[in-house]
Amino acid sequence: MRKFSLLDGLVVPLDRANVDTDAIIPKQFLKSIKRSGFGPNAFDEWRYLDHGEPGMDNSKRPLNQDFVLNQPRYQGAQILLARENFGCGSSREHAPWALEDYGFRVIIAPSFADIFFNNCFKNGLLPIKLAAEKVDVLFKAVEANAGYKLKVDLEQQTIGAPDGAAYPFEVDAFRKHCLLNGLDDIGLTLQHVDEIKAFEAKHRAAQPWLFA
């Protein structure tokens, strides 16, 4: 997994609540057996005016110029500012794959759906929960200032704004450690292989039918 520590990135505001993973990456792209290449189809139904299918040349498709990601001032954005319950719905990890492949490294929202939140950390993406009032302040600032950037410091757990304001954020210690070091969960878990085996033996003795 790609490490994440510090980012000074352009922010794009996606001003709607309950953005679901079907919207982030529509189902037709889930037919892929790979975990890369989803970026051009992130938010496909909002981003393009035609119906997207796998295998199309996305550079030739008509863009929906009203969609915020298509506006010239937000090109190259690495920080997605969103509203409550971002990433709800399907557990598809294709959603964080698509966001990461598009170029996002950080998502800031008042709240996230649990499975999506968890999936982000497995893919070098940092989801940050900030109070709704603070997110509101950021929305106003982004919309008022072209080229608006934020400095995200995972080590210090702060977001620095151009006006000097600092927004501290919480992050789970284990997830922070994995993200800072780009660690793969499986390798870490396999350090506890003896404990897993011991548990399994005890569990099998208590409920043998689970192992039939």
Partner 1 sequence: MSAKTLYDKLWDSHVVRQDADGTALIYIDRQLVHEVTSPQAFEGLKLAQRKPWRTASMLAVPDHNVPTTNRAAGIADPISRLQVETLDANCAEYGVLEFKMNDIRQGIVHVIGPEQGATLPGMTVVCGDSHTSTHGAFAALAHGIGTSEVEHVMATQCLVAKKSKAMLVKVEGALGKGVTAKDIALAVIGKIGTAGGTGYAIEFAGSAIRALSMEGRMTLCNMAIEAGARAGMVAADDTTIAYVKGRPFAPKGSDWDKAAAYWKTLHSDAGAKFDATEELDAAQIKPQVTWGTSPEMVVAVDGRVPDPASAPDAVKRGDWERALAYMGLQANTPITDIKIDKVFIGSCTNGRIEDMRAAATVAKGKKVAANVKLAMVVPGSGLVKQQAEQEGLDKILIAAGFEWRDPGCSMCLAMNDDRLAPGERCAATSNRNFEGRQGQGGRTHLVSPEMAAAAAIAGHFVDVSKG
Taking CB under 8 A as the rule, does residue 196 contact partner 1?
yes
> Cβ closer to partner 1: 129 or 149?
129
CB of 187 to partner 1, least distance (A): 9
**What is the C-alpha separation between 59 and 21, in angstroms, rounded?**
23
Q: Does 210 bind partner 1 (CB under 8 A)?
A: yes
Neighbours of 188 (CB within 10 A): 12
Q: Between residues 8 and 195, which has the closer beta carbon with respect to partner 1? A: 195
Our CA dihedral for 24, 9, 126, 42, rounded to 10 degrees, sits at: 10
Query: Tokens 């498709």, residue?
Result: 61
Of the candidate residues 3, 6, 8, 17, the single one contacting partner 1 (CB under 8 A): 17
Cβ-contact 99, 34 below 8 angstroms:
no
Q: Could you give the C-alpha distances from 67 to 24, 25, 109, in angstroms and in order?
A: 13, 15, 19
Burial of 103 per CB tally in 10 Å (0-12, 13-18, 19+): middle
Q: Rounded CA gap, 95 and 78, in Å?
A: 15
Applying CB under 8 A, does 208 fall inside the site for partner 1? yes
Of 63, 114, 162, 166, the one binding partner 1 by CB under 8 A:
114
Amino acid at position 82, single letter = A
If one asks whether residue 129 binds partner 1 (CB under 8 A), the answer comes out as no
Q: Which two tokens stand for residue 106?
A: 């950080």
**Which of the residues 86 through 105 are near partner 1 (CB under 8 A)?**
88-93, 96
Site for partner 1 in 27-56 (CB under 8 A): 27-28, 30-35, 45, 51, 54-55
- Which tokens hold the place of 70? 């298509």
Interface stretch with partner 1, choices 12-20, 64-72, 147-155, 156-164 (CB under 8 A): 12-20
Residues forming contacts to partner 1 in the complex (CB under 8 A) are: 15-18, 20, 22-23, 26-28, 30-35, 45, 51, 54-55, 83-85, 88-93, 96, 111-115, 118-119, 122-123, 172-174, 185-186, 189-190, 192-193, 195-196, 199-200, 203, 207-212
